[in-house]
Amino acid sequence: MKKLGILLSGRGSNFEAIARNVQAGKIPAEIAVVISNKQDAIGLVRARELGLTTRFIPSKGKEREAFDREVVAVLKEFQVDLVCLAGFMRLLSPYFVWEFPNRILNIHPALLPAFPGEDAQRQALEHGVKFTGCTVHLVNEGMDTGPIVCQAVVPVLDDDTEATLAARILAEEHRIYSEAICLLLEDKVRFEGRRVLWKA
Ligand code: GAR
């Protein structure tokens, strides 16, 4: 059985969607460990309630790579095959990225490369785009710059607020994150430069 490692910093709704799909047998893997850099992250509480193994690793006051080395050590301890960032609000060091080549996924609430970084939904509203969405991508050393695995398009409505738009995007996030995980775990994709393509 393949093993997932989940990293989160907050609410953890993407983690919960993944956990539900694992439970339902829709993702061929188990969640080996849930790690958070925030002690009071709701996602960490929910993971404990679900009976999953959790670790709190504080990031405050640590050098980026020192923190990442602690996280990587735990992921290796649990022999994690695929790392899923689920609202994990930190850039990864090159060290971390090289330890898991093409095996770290992130979800972002915009159609990358548009609106990277924080407040992607607000950026979309302020820019005036008519469509936005979400992206699951492989993680590299940049901010939301890695190769794209899956995307979903969401319309921006005239009466949208940041909250209503975020909610509509989130429903799609919950769907495509699990899809992307399956694509990688089932070895259905190949890499050609920045492009993630279906295997023939
Ligand atoms: C999600 O909308 C995710 O796309 C976003 O944070 C939220 C976390 O929600 N991530 C980013 O903006 C990363 N740049 P969750 O904790 O409920 O999964």
CATH topology (fold) of 106-200: Rossmann fold (3.40.50)
**CA 66 distance to own-chain centroid:** 21
Taking the centre of ligand 1 as the mean of its atom positions, its distance from the CA of residue 200, in whole angstroms, is 32
State pLDDT tens for residues 2-60: 999 999 999 999 999 999 999 999 999 999 999 999 999 999 999 999 999 999 999 99
Q: Where along the chain do its domains lie?
A: 1-100, 106-200
Taking the centre of ligand 1 as the mean of its atom positions, its distance from the CA of residue 190, in whole angstroms, is 26
CATH topology (fold) of 1-100: Rossmann fold (3.40.50)
Give nearest CA residue, ligand 1 atom 6.
87
Average pLDDT over residues 76-80: 98
Q: Which of 140, 136, 135, 138 is nearest to 94 (CA)?
A: 140
Atom of ligand 1 nearest to the CA of 87: 8
Q: What are the backbone dihedrals phi and psi of residue 106, each rounded to the nearest 5 degrees, phi first?
A: -135, 155
Atom of ligand 1 nearest to the CA of 108: 4
Q: What residues line ligand 1, using a CB cutoff of 6 Å?
A: 8, 10-14, 43, 86-87, 107-109, 120, 144, 170, 173
Query: pTM value?
Result: 0.97
Atom of ligand 1 nearest to the CA of 12: 16
Fold match, 1-100 / 106-200? yes
State pLDDT tens for residues 154-173: 999 999 999 999 999 999 99
- Tokens found for residue 112: 């990358």
Residues sharing a CB contact under 8 Å with residue 48, sequence separation 6 or more, in sequence order = 54
Report pLDDT for 4: 98
C-beta separation of 26 from 59 below 8 A: no
- Tokens found for residue 195: 């492009």
Report pLDDT for 192: 95
Average pLDDT over residues 127-152: 97
Active site residues: 108
Q: Is the pLDDT of residue 200 over 90?
A: no
C-beta separation of 137 from 106 below 8 A: yes
H runs (alpha helix) in the chain? 13-23, 42-49, 64-77, 94-99, 120-127, 162-185
Q: Which of 115, 108, 63 is nearest to 88 (CA)?
A: 108
